[in-house]
Structure 1
Amino acid sequence: MMTGIDAAPRLRCPALHFTPPQGWMNDPNGLVYFEGEYHLFYQYHPHDRVWGPMHWGHAVSCDLCRWEHLPPALVPDADGMCFSGSAIVDRDDTSGLFGGEPGLLAFYTVHRETAGDPGDYVQEPCLAYSRDRGRSWQKYPGNPILPNPGLRDFRDPKVVWHAPSRRWVMALACGQVIRFYVAENLLDWRLASEFGEGQGAHTEGPWECPDLFELPVEGRQATRWVLLVGVGAGEQESFGSFTQYFVGHFGGERFHNENPAETVLMMDEGRDFYAVQTWSDVPDGDGRRLAIAWLNNWLYANQIPEAGWRGTLSFPRELSLEETGEGIRLRQALAAELGTAGGLSPSRMANSTDALMAGDNVLIEQGPSAAHGRLSLQMAPGTTLEFDLQQAGQMLLRITHDGSALRLEHRREGRNGDPDFDRHFPHHLTGQRMAKTDIELEWLVDRGSLELLVDGGRYAATHLGITDPFHQPVTVRLVAGSARLTEGRYQGVIDPLE
């Protein structure tokens, strides 16, 4: 029985985006693939619909679309709450906890308030292990595996294997920097370096939820390391929490940013793509780096509409690197499993024509539960196009060809009567420019959310919505100028659980 939760009627859950079975959810953590299952852990408060004592919620999937909820893996105890971290497969029993067999390790953060004051706390990385495919977990009796050296923030351990040095690396969020620790046995860690001072974006909020991985650069015989960092929202920040990334080199102890220190690379230009984490131990033959994010923003996370649960994760994305005129950058694609998610057959857009003039509309019929679509256009100078993604302009993308480049604007409306929500949720984002005359859009609209990829995934914008998007079609409206539609397809998605 849920305590602290009213017996209110439930709204329908998203068709393709993960939500908790009840209560509150924020950061995904502990993502690992083991014996045919994708494990998804997440920050979870099962007894209320606002942030509270953190558990590790747990679910598994074989296809990234249908998830089986399991009992919470880690629960608070006398040592404290269970904050974010990561999970790995200890294939060679390096830790000595599995009797020579492979097993699962979860690195999490104990968060313990002192003197009953929420603003006075201790954070320390700890370890738990599972010998039964993640169905039960034991906390390591030697916790913490890394005592806090006196820092206020000392959390979110991301553990990865660095093959050239044959050591394990832990990226740890420490205030406004990321510290790197190394170990041979997964138990005894030493400080190697830190990164972040004077680098990228900083706010009043801390850096948190790091991730570190290596990717090949498309079309080159080269690789780069990517460091993801969540940037917490400060009280005076109008944008709120967001995810930035760095591209560079990592030799096993120190990360070197290959871009100028002041360069800020946003993983997603929308308001609701935070605490990004990637799956570890995806089979080598798969070759993908799969990522997922909390689809929310700390400025209004506790005030968004709820229906017995509060919190949504993005649909998994595949990450890659490509070389651009400005340097090596991330590209994103919706995971290929989307094409097997119980969808209807792809169709050409209703009422579409190759040539579009000012005043023309293209109606995109939505699916019964969610809709995945693609649209490619060539735009003449002076053309303005509006992409109406929710009812009556509540979610609107405007694209303008200013004669030399395309400029993107995104507007979201929505109020629910809560002062914090009503102040922070509506927005009007402008400024993104692309030096080209054609544009490719891909979107996934689900109950309560929009994920938008532009220009083949070189630009992403992810947003919550608070209206049901299926009361009317998405509308592509040519406000001025002319354009040529070169591709227009959509695929309605039936809820996999229906």
Structure 2
Amino acid sequence: MSLETTVSGAAPSRPAIHFTPAKGWMNDPNGLVYFDGEYHLFYQYYPDARVWGPMHWGHAVSTDLLHWQHLDTALFPDEDGMCFSGSAVVDHRDCSGLFGGEPGLIAFYTAHRVLDEATNDYIEEQCVAYSRDRGRSWQKYAGNPVIAPPGFRDFRDPKVIWHEASQHWIMALACGQSIRFYRSENLLDWTLASAFGSDQGAHTEGPWECPDLFELALEDGRRRWVLVVGVGAGKDDWGSFTQYFVGDFDGTGFHNENPADQVLLMDESRDFYAAQSWSDVTDGRRLAIAWLNNWHYANQIPESGWRGNMSLPRELALVTTAEGTRLQQRFVRELAARFEPVPLIDDGVGLAAGQSFQAPVDKGPQLGRAALSLQAGSRVEICLQQAGYADLVLSLEEAGLRLQHQRRGQNGDEKFDRFFPHDFSIGAGEGNSVTLEWVCDHGSLELLVDNGRLSLSSLSISGDGGCASLFRVTEGEVVLESLYGAAIRLPARGDRAVA
């Protein structure tokens, strides 16, 4: 199937290792929590159609972040409204009093109640639900809402964490174009502490959404706090995206260590939104996942009984760069343990203009790693996903390495055809060499550049869900220093996301 023609009839194959709903519509990940040996993944869910609708919380669990078992829908809309995004924690000491002295799961969500559809008028308030049986059933708290509407509309997506230094629970809440922080001792009674962001980072006509807040260590043992914020789609061509801030959180307020107008992107491409991290992970890792989509065309992408998928889970770290402290992302180690990439070349392969190298692997979902070095003025086209068409163009220019990311596709829908195709470039590092790590699954390409310093995540509409990687030099000389690959094949299992 040519990407220059229509894709409206394309029925996407289930991804091999990316989470998808069993049916219907899915967007934001919610309530990520680890408890009693299971990773819980909740998500915004509408089971009755394949477009956004009355929001439920879908639910799945995994023991390895690759195989997922679908569970019953956790939260349903009611007279208080839809169940919008939120978070979950383990109440280890039963400080809420909801668990009879035992540990339990407590979830925080936004009740979104429409007052007048004609004027798009609504109320949003923060609510609690809890589970006494390892997340298998959920009860909404009789005292909801735990935070009443403050007098403006966009007031949602509570992220709750335990702040050890102040011995308080903290809630980060998206409030229009800023984040408010609330404090609590019992998870039920909350007090406003501060606000951040009205003059910080990126803003569009869309609201800030889906905050996350966590602490990470640097290489030298120093620690920094990271605040992640989704930025709703504006009127420009880019759509929704995810930014982050690095600084300090003292239990009351967040303090950005970078200039107020500096924008740090968690992902440099188009389809990485509503990123959230798991709470209560016991091995010390900070694990995160995002929705692979963009609100500009989310309701128009091809579907096959379901619409929407998550990114692969990532491990997050902080690294020191010449520009300051930045996030580093790596695919979870469980992926490489399950699909260990093997060398595809014996030694470095030198390529001059007009020469190419085709990786000797079968078509289909792939995990790959490569290291390349370029002479000044060199240019190499890299085909990973779009069957013969270059997804990436890497070049060494006077200002440094540049990575051009290209995507094609159309299906006759005005929004999809306008916003889905793209062609942009970013800086890819200093010097003349760079590392690439990628996963091509049915319908998506996730790429980590420069040892995970940059992330580019993108939906991809292709005929076969992936192809063997191809490196084609068009200018200068390029050395393919190393290349590793592995085919991604999970055995069919009835309890996985790929029904």
TM-score range, shorter chain: over 0.9
User: Which of 456, 462, 465 is residue 467 of structure 1 equivalent to?
Assistant: 462
- SS of alignment partner, residue 391 of structure 2: strand
The one-letter code of the counterpart of 1:259 is: N
- SS of alignment partner, residue 359 of structure 1: coil
Structure 2 residue 83 is matched with structure 1 residue 78: no
Residue aligning to 2:232: 232
Structure 1 residues 183-202: aligned runs within 5 Å = 183-202=184-203
Q: Call closer, same or farther: CA 1:452–1:356 in 2, change over 3 Å.
A: same
Residue aligning to 1:255: 254
Distance 1:312 1:306 in 2: 11
Whether the aligned pair in 1 keeps the contact of 2:428 and 2:449 (CA below 8 Å) is: no
User: Deviations for 1:106-136, whole angstroms, at most 9, x for unmatched residues?
Assistant: 0000000014447100000100000000000
Count how many residue pairs are aligned between Structure 1 and Structure 2: 485
The one-letter code of the counterpart of 2:440 is: V
Deviates more, 1:49-58 or 1:467-476: 467-476
Residue aligning to 1:292: 289
Residue aligning to 2:277: 278
Distance 1:198 1:304 in 2: 34
Distance 2:45 2:356 in 1: 43
Structure with more relative contact order (C-alpha pairs < 8 Å, separation 6 or more): 2
Structure 1 residues 358-437: aligned runs within 5 Å = 358-366=353-361, 369-394=364-389, 396-437=391-432
Residue aligning to 1:268: 267
Whether the aligned pair in 2 keeps the contact of 1:207 and 1:229 (CA below 8 Å) is: yes
User: Deviations for 1:296-341, whole angstroms, at most 9, x for unmatched residues?
Assistant: 0000000000000000100000000011111100000000011244
C-alpha deviation, 1:471, in angstroms: 6.6
Distance 1:348 1:163 in 2: 45
Deviates more, 1:487-496 or 1:455-464: 487-496
Whether the aligned pair in 2 keeps the contact of 1:388 and 1:396 (CA below 8 Å) is: yes
Whether the aligned pair in 1 keeps the contact of 2:364 and 2:467 (CA below 8 Å) is: no
Distance 2:307 2:346 in 1: 37
Whether the aligned pair in 2 keeps the contact of 1:367 and 1:491 (CA below 8 Å) is: no
Structure 2 residue 310 is matched with structure 1 residue 313: yes
Whether the aligned pair in 1 keeps the contact of 2:348 and 2:482 (CA below 8 Å) is: no
C-alpha deviation, 1:79, in angstroms: 0.8
- SS of alignment partner, residue 382 of structure 1: coil
C-alpha deviation, 1:291, in angstroms: 0.4
Distance 2:40 2:466 in 1: 34
Residue aligning to 2:438: 443
User: Which of 312, 333, 338 is residue 335 of structure 2 equivalent to?
Assistant: 338
Structure 2 residue 48 is matched with structure 1 residue 47: yes
Unpaired runs of 5+ residues, structure 2, are 1-8, 494-499
User: Deviations for 1:62-83, whole angstroms, at most 9, x for unmatched residues?
Assistant: 0000000011100001110000
Unpaired runs of 5+ residues, structure 1, are 1-7
Whether the aligned pair in 1 keeps the contact of 2:385 and 2:440 (CA below 8 Å) is: no
User: Which of 435, 439, 453 is residue 448 of structure 2 equivalent to?
Assistant: 453
Distance 1:104 1:156 in 2: 18
Deviates more, 1:114-123 or 1:273-282: 114-123
After the TM superposition, which segments of 4 or more aligned residues of structure 1 sit over 6 Å from their partners? none
C-alpha deviation, 1:393, in angstroms: 5.0
Deviates more, 1:402-411 or 1:263-272: 402-411
- SS of alignment partner, residue 63 of structure 1: coil
Structure 1 residues 9-20: aligned runs within 5 Å = 11-20=12-21
- SS of alignment partner, residue 391 of structure 1: coil
Q: Call closer, same or farther: CA 1:493–1:117 in 2, change over 3 Å.
A: same
Residue aligning to 1:37: 38
Give the superposed CA RMSD.
1.7
Distance 2:360 2:289 in 1: 27
The one-letter code of the counterpart of 1:142 is: G
C-alpha deviation, 1:365, in angstroms: 4.2
TM-score normalized with structure 1 length:
0.94
The one-letter code of the counterpart of 2:275 is: V
- SS of alignment partner, residue 434 of structure 1: coil
Distance 1:20 1:327 in 2: 39
Distance 1:357 1:403 in 2: 19
TM-score normalized with structure 2 length:
0.94
The one-letter code of the counterpart of 2:186 is: N
C-alpha deviation, 1:433, in angstroms: 4.6
Q: Call closer, same or farther: CA 1:277–1:395 in 2, change over 3 Å.
A: farther
C-alpha deviation, 1:390, in angstroms: 2.6
Q: Call closer, same or farther: CA 1:395–1:23 in 2, change over 3 Å.
A: farther
Distance 1:101 1:471 in 2: 48
Whether the aligned pair in 2 keeps the contact of 1:409 and 1:429 (CA below 8 Å) is: yes
Give % identity. Answer: 58
C-alpha deviation, 1:469, in angstroms: 4.5
- SS of alignment partner, residue 247 of structure 2: strand
Distance 1:30 1:186 in 2: 15
Whether the aligned pair in 2 keeps the contact of 1:395 and 1:465 (CA below 8 Å) is: no
Residue aligning to 2:99: 98
- SS of alignment partner, residue 302 of structure 1: helix
- SS of alignment partner, residue 125 of structure 1: strand
Residue aligning to 1:141: 142
